[in-house]
Amino acid sequence: DASGNIMDFPQLLWELRQEPSLKNIKLIAEPWDASGGYELGKASGLADWAEWNDKYRDTVRRALRGEEKMMEALKSSILGSPEIFGSVASGRKYSLNFITSHDGMTLMDLVSYNEKHNEANGEKNRDGHNSEFADNCGIEGPTNNPEIRKLRFRKLRMFQCLLQLSNGIPMLLGGDEFGRTQQGNNNAYCHDSELTWLDWELVERNSELLLFTRRMIALRKQHSSFLFAPKSNYQWFDASGGAEELAAYVRTLHYEVTNSAWPEQIMRVLINCFEQPVEFMLPKEIEWKVLIDSAKEPAEYIPPQASSAWLEGFTVQILRATGVKV
């Protein structure tokens, strides 16, 4: 209002939503401001806008740091944050899911730095957000250590999997698909230099990451009417295939998606947020084809799964039933 207070009803947002020339335009709200205003869930509920979902962002980041007590929040994030938007169906329409944006670290920097490095901004590293929920995987900054690099790229692929598997609208920051870095700077708005420019040489250098990202986007498009529709049904299990367990120490999710419009089709998603491998038990009577294993390079052959699947640490596997064993 005229005093700078946040209004109970966002009249301007509603008027924009009703504007005939904007009826086929997706309107997106960033529901917070620099002075402390935070209104996540309001623009969607009152004015039919999609909203940047920072709860999704922070949940996925914390889960991939291996934090405990995150699986219930991660499950909700995959379902479109119904506790924020009112239902899974509303989350599909209004939750704009993202892990990185123009503010903050790039995706590569999230797995390469624990702390922000904004010294080049001239403010003695005092600017920028202090809670990135980043994890450098063992060494701060660039490294040639093969094991750390392997873990970093495994997490990058896992981020892409979770983003494309979640109900809602996925938003990908340009450059994350091929490993763009800002050298740990999470507030680079003041730069017009190599720090913020897109380094197109990374397209070739990190071509496997780019290919994997394309595969995940294609998988989402191919299966969206099965995974993210009114007739989609989600059933949740623990890693052993039994009843779902979301105790504080649990760092796995295991769910099955069916859809009454395709009664013969079944998909399963296995998520391991532990550092070490975990065995997931599968129905013995069903044969499974591995569509995606985020621990593998895109060109690697992945054999069909039997009655169980071993997932490396920080890995997602997507399975599709191919038949019933006789």
pTM of the model: 0.95
Same domain, 301 and 170: no
Does 270 lie in the same domain as 202?
no
Which residues, at least 6 apart from 277, have a Cβ–Cβ distance to it below 8 Å? Answer: 310, 311, 312, 313
Decide if 2 is inside a domain: no
Last residue of a domain, one of 224, 244, 263: 224
Contact call for residues 278 and 238 (beta carbons, < 8 A): no
Q: What is the reported pLDDT for 299?
A: 60
- Please indicate, yes or no, if residue 1 is contained in any of the structural domains: no
Cα–Cα distance between 170 and 173 in angstroms, integer?
A: 10
Give the Cα separation of 231 and 249 in Å (integer): 32
pLDDT in tens, the chain (326 residues): 777 777 777 788 999 999 999 999 999 999 998 777 889 999 999 999 999 999 999 999 999 999 999 999 999 999 999 999 999 999 999 999 999 999 999 999 999 999 999 999 999 999 998 999 999 999 999 999 999 999 999 999 999 999 999 999 999 999 999 999 999 999 999 999 999 999 999 999 999 999 999 999 999 999 999 999 999 999 999 999 999 989 999 999 999 999 999 999 999 999 999 999 999 999 989 999 999 999 987 666 667 777 899 999 999 999 999 876 54
Pairing of strands 315-324, 286-293: antiparallel
* Shared-domain flag, residues 76 and 168: yes
Query: What CATH number corresponds to the domain at position 293?
Result: 2.60.40.1180
The count of residues in the chain is: 326
> Which range marks the domain in which residue 291 is found?
229-324
CB of 186 within 8 A of CB of 112?
no
Residue 192 sits in the same domain as residue 55: yes
Distance between start and end Cα atoms, the chain: 68
Looking at the structure, tell me whether residues 61 and 81 fall in a common domain: yes
Domain assignment present for residue 95? The answer is yes
Does 313 lie in the same domain as 170? no
5 found inside a domain: no
Q: In this predicted structure, what is the pLDDT of residue 297?
A: 75
The neighbour count for residue 232, using CB atoms within 10 Å, is 21
Query: What's the pLDDT score for residue 2?
Result: 77
Domain assignment of residue 4, yes or no: no
Q: Are residues 217 and 234 in the same domain?
A: no
- Say if residue 165 is in the same domain as residue 255: no
Do 66 and 205 share a domain, yes or no? yes
57 within a domain of the structure (yes/no): yes
d(CA 85, CA 41): 6
Identify the H or E element spanning 283.
Answer: none
Is 44 part of a structural domain of the chain? yes
Say yes or no: 271 and 142 in one domain: no
Taking the CA of residue 49 as centre, how many other CA atoms within 13 Å lie in the half-sphere pointing to its CB? 26
E-assigned strand segments in 162-266: 169-171, 232-237, 252-259
Of the three residues 200, 224, 248, the one that is the final residue of a domain is 224
Q: For 183-218, b where at least 16 C-beta lie within 10 A, e where not — what string? A: bbbbbbeeeeeeebeeeeebeeebebbbebbebbbe
216 within some domain: yes
Residue 198 and residue 265 in one domain = no
Q: Are strands 232-237 and 267-272 parallel, antiparallel or unpaired?
A: unpaired
Could you tell me if 65 and 194 lie in one domain?
A: yes
Among 168, 189, 224, give the residue marking a domain's end.
Answer: 224
CATH code assigned at 121: 3.20.20.80
Q: Residue ranges of the alpha helices (H) in the chain?
A: 11-18, 42-47, 54-63, 71-78, 82-85, 88-94, 107-110, 146-165, 201-205, 207-227
Number of domains, the chain? 2
Give residue 298's pLDDT.
67
